[in-house]
Each structure stands twice: as structure tokens, then as C-alpha cells.
Amino acid sequence: MSLTKNVTDILNGTIEAVKAVVPLEIQVEKPALFTQPFTQHSIGVLIGMTGDARGRIIIDGDPDVFGKIGEAMFGMALEGEMLESFAGELGNMIAGNISTYISQRGFEMDITPPTVLVGQTKVYGFTKAFRLPVTISGVGNLMIVLMVEVG
């Protein structure tokens, strides 16, 4: 299976997963290729991908964006440790959906437990990465970063 097909399937799976998990109106912009480092600013969730599709997914956003998503999903405001825990769970739900989407296209992908990143963090150690900007109507923006290992 070609790397290009893997990347296309993962990008499409990511878009579908975000739309399936987040119960709000979403607009996803075109993905853009970039090189390291990636700088995460407020709250991020890092999830590893293993199997045929190897790499990492980072979901980066402001605390108020994660908070408003949590409020839309659970009907209550989230803050502090609850907000950080929710960010990890949101990442887990999105990555789990991506994994399901990918497996339906004939290749294996497992995910690692989420790692929540708080504060400014720089991420190195990847060959190719795609930024997938997501605008959530009335809420704000998330940046999904897909880091793919080549070879």
C-alpha cells in the first residue's frame, strides 16, 4: 500500500472523525504540508499511530475551544483538570474513529493512549506532517497535525 494512499485515507478519516465526534458545525480547510518543529500553544493531545499507518496525531487548541466542545457534548462547563482530561478523551475519540475508518479501507492502525500537552511545547522528530485547520462554528479553531513516518 502506498504512502500517498495511506496519507489520503488518514486525512479523509480525520475529517470524518472530527465531524462524527464533535456535535457542532465544522469546516475543515485544505491540509498543508510542513516541516518540523510544530509548536503547540495552549492545550494539545498527542496520540501515536501504529500498524500500517505509523506516526502521531496532535490536536491543538485554546482551552476555551476545548471547553465549548465539552459543553456542547456534556451540557456543562469544563475547566482545570476536568478540561485537560476531556481534551485527552476528545483526542482518543477522534483517533479511535480514524482507526475505524482506516481499518474499513483495508489496513491496520492502532492508537496509543492520549498524552495531554499543556502550555507551549515544540514537537520534533517527524519527516512529513500535515496541518489540518478546523473551524468550529461559534466556538473557534482547532489545529489537527498529522505526522506520518515514511518507510
Q: Which pLDDT does position 3 carry in this prediction?
A: 58
Which CATH number goes with the domain that contains 59?
A: 3.40.1550.10
CA-atom Rg of the chain in angstroms:
14
**What is the spatial distance between Cα 22 and Cα 139, in angstroms, rounded to a whole number?**
11
Tell if the pTM clears 0.85, that is, is over it: yes
| 2: pLDDT strictly greater than 90 | no
Q: Tell me the residue range of the domain where 46 lies.
A: 3-148
Neighbours of 29 (CB within 10 A): 11
Q: Would you say 59 and 144 are in contact if contact means Cβ atoms under 8 Å apart?
A: yes
Question: pLDDT per residue over 29-73, tens digit each?
Answer: 999 988 777 877 789 999 999 988 788 999 999 999 999 999 999
**What is the spatial distance between Cα 57 and Cα 123, in angstroms, rounded to a whole number?**
11
| 120: pLDDT strictly greater than 50 | yes
Domain count, the chain: 1
